[in-house]
Structure formats: structure tokens, C-alpha cells
Amino acid sequence: MTHGFLVGWLTVALLSGLAIVSPGPNYAVTLKYSLLHSRRAGIWSAVGVAGGNLVHVVLSLLGLAVVVSQSVLLLSTLKWVGTAYLVYLGLKSLRAGKYEADGTEQTGGTEGSGGKSAGRVLRSSFLVSTLNPKVTLFYLVLFTQVVEPGTPASVRVVYGLTAVALSFGWYALVALLVSHGAIKDRFRAVAHWVERATGAMLVGMGIKLALSRASS
């Protein structure tokens, strides 16, 4: 293991870790599925978020993120699609009804834990993660600091997998912690308010994304 590789790996691990633990859409959607539905749903959400991060990492390492960042049309399209999806999820959560003791929802709105299939949770979390152009730009800036034209493909793969593994590890940890029985029991009576608050957060993040400059 060379000194240059170690420094580069530590840079990727540190900066990726700091970005991942910062509150954002990925955190909100994982929290929603873990706290309001089930631990299984939370873990699948973590898988979806990590899958989205993998897309961003691959795009950045292949240099495609440069094309996206230089194309106002592509970046704007990605931004508005991401905004629309965040607002859509947020509005669904804002309509949440009260939950029964077993976690199923009493009235209209989003489905309870029994109604969330792994595929739906995975797809939803993957899209939230993928449709965020700021993540693409973050990884582009990060990898330009540690990857050079002569950097071996194996080293690039290690850098990329490190970022993805940290993403999954953090959100899986969030899922495990907030889905603990004692925590869920405390929140059960106000679960619908928690989901509505999460919905408001997602709508706010969507609006923030919409108002951000394409170059930010």
C-alpha cells in the first residue's frame, strides 16, 4: 500500500463520510421507512440510497459527470426531475393518517409497514438518491482531488466502493437504531405527525433544490 494511495483513500473516506452524515433527502427517506414502517424497510432504503450513490460514483469516475456539469440542459433536467420527485414523496407523507398498534395506517395516505414491499422501498430510495445532481457534482469534485489520468483502475474502484460502502453503512445504522422497538413504541402514537413532518422536510428540500443555481 503506497503512501499516495493511503492519503487518497483517507481523503475519500473522510470527505464522503462527512457528506453522508449531513442531513438531506437520503437521511429523510431512510428515517421515514425505518421509523414509520419496519427495520426491514429501513435496510432496503439504505440499499437503495447506496445504489444511487453507486450511480453517482460511476458517473464521476468515468468522467460523465463532467459532461453533465457542463450541460445546463442536462443539469437543469436532472434538478427539476429530482425536485418533482421529492415534492411528490413529501406530499404523500403530508397526507399520512394515524397508525394502529401494529404499524398499519388507519386512514388514507401512505401505507403502513405491511404495505411497503422491498421493491417499492428500494425503488423510492434509489430515485431520491439518484435524482440529486448535487451528489454527482460532489463526487466529481472529490474524485478530481485524488484521481489522476495515471491512477490504476483498481485504485479507482477501491475509492468508489469505499464511498458506496460508507453510504450503505451509515444509513443501515440509522435504520437499525431508529427501528429499535423501544424507539418505535415511543413514536407510535405520534407516527402520523412524524411522517407529516418528514413530508414537509422532503417538500422543503425539493424547493431548496429547485431554487439552487445549476452551478452550485
| DSSP line for 142-153 | HHHHH--TT--H
Mean model confidence pLDDT for the chain = 77
Residue % of the chain over a pLDDT of 70: 69
More confident residue, 55 or 115: 55
3-state secondary structure of 100: coil
Unique residue bearing C-alpha cell 427517506: 29
Q: What is the pLDDT of residue 214?
A: 43
Total-model pTM: 0.71
More confident residue, 56 or 77: 56
Q: How large is the average pLDDT for residues 76-89?
A: 73
Q: What is the pLDDT of residue 133?
A: 77
- Residue 110 and residue 107: Cα distance in Å, rounded? 9
Give the relative orientation of helices 133-146 and 153-178 as an angle to the nearest 10 degrees.
Answer: 130
Q: What is the pLDDT of residue 207?
A: 78
Q: How large is the average pLDDT for residues 190-195?
A: 62
Residue % of the chain over a pLDDT of 90: 24
Q: How large is the average pLDDT for residues 186-214?
A: 66
φ and ψ at residue 149, rounded to 5 degrees: -55, -30
Q: Read off the pLDDT of residues 98-157 as tens digits, 9 standing for 90 and up.
A: 544 444 444 444 444 344 688 999 999 999 899 887 788 788 888 888 888 788 889 989
More confident residue, 211 or 188: 211
- Residue 27 and residue 129: Cα distance in Å, rounded? 10
